[in-house]
Amino acid sequence: YSRARIQRIESQRVVRELEKGNIVIVAGFQGITEEMDVTTLGRGGSDTTAVALAASLGAEICQIYTDVDGVYTADPSLIPEAQQLHDIGYEEMLELASYGAKVVHPRAVELGELFNIPILVASSITNSSGTLIHGGVSMEVRNKVRSIAHDLDVAKITVVGVPDRPGIAAAIFQPLSKADISIDTIVQNASINNITDLTFTVAKSQLDNAMEVVKPIAKSIGARDCVSDSKLGKVSVIGTGMQNTPGYAARMFDTLSEKGINIQLITTSEIRITCIIDEVKVEDAVRALHRAFELEIAE
């Protein structure tokens, strides 16, 4: 309950009603288990339901109308000059949704990409044209950085003085997995005299539970200490063109340095660079990066 996954959609009734010319209203966010118990999909469940239903029906497009005009180059409530994107690729949108943008849920984007269902995100209040999420965006004509994402729900745990030998990481992360604690960034320092530090991040709401799990493990494996920091956030620059173009990481790091923002952790994918920083610096970082990458200029 609250974290269910869609196994299948029985859409026969919906198809019959559509063939009769009727308008079908389907409740999102919820479903029924094999045992006929009502369950829910959790945050973003309505987005996920919409895209899954569109895929099941073989629809040409899934239109999601919400309280925002579309996808922007940054959070418009933080950056008034942020530009609305006309369209964006599945890959970029998945990174945005996973690293802080609350426009559409990552699971909905994953389903859209899997079944090649374009997703239009538009406002139910204004006449904005919205943003089309699809797979046909040309990498060659887009800005190398499409958007800046940020997230304040970040906490860090460091297991200090860990013996550098096989099986240590598994000893730490397997119990966390069994406790249903999601891990985001993982960083292990270079070993000195076969001793290293292992750092990882979790959601702030899971920090206490994670510490309860990790502290006895740290003691049992001979680590010196286990410490945490809950006053963190992350800021990410995202764009498919960064992979084969040098200089984007340097520009990001230089921009943060000029603002006196210390980077605690760095994680990357092929199209994303994420920095873990103090939460009080996140808004300043977003503003500075938005200017540095000239995202206020309309496409």
- List, in order of start, the domains of the chain with CATH numbers: 12-137 (3.40.1160.10), 138-299 (3.30.2130.10)
pLDDT surpassing 90 at residue 72? yes
pLDDT at 299: 66
Q: What is the mean pLDDT of residues 264-279?
A: 94
Sign of CA dihedral 83, 85, 89, 91: positive
Q: Which amino acid is at 105?
A: H
Top-ranked range on mean pLDDT: pick from 29-33, 47-51, 65-69, 117-121? 117-121
Alpha helices in the chain (DSSP H): 12-19, 45-57, 90-98, 106-115, 168-178, 207-220, 248-258, 282-292
pLDDT at 141 exceeding the cut of 50: no
Q: What is the mean pLDDT of the chain?
A: 91
Does pLDDT of 137 surpass 70?
A: no
What's at 60, amino acid-wise? E
Contact at 8 Å (CB) between 73 and 147? yes
Residue count (the chain) = 299
User: Which pLDDT does position 260 carry in this prediction?
Assistant: 97
d(CA 76, CA 237): 16
**pLDDT score at 82:** 96
- Please say if the pLDDT value at position 200 is more than 70: yes
* pTM given for the model: 0.86
Categorise residue 163: left if φ over 0, alpha if ψ from -120 to 50, beta otherwise: beta
Highest-scoring range by mean pLDDT, 19-33, 92-106, 138-152, 277-291: 277-291
Give the pLDDT band (50/70/90) at residue 35. confident
pLDDT over 60 (residue 208):
yes
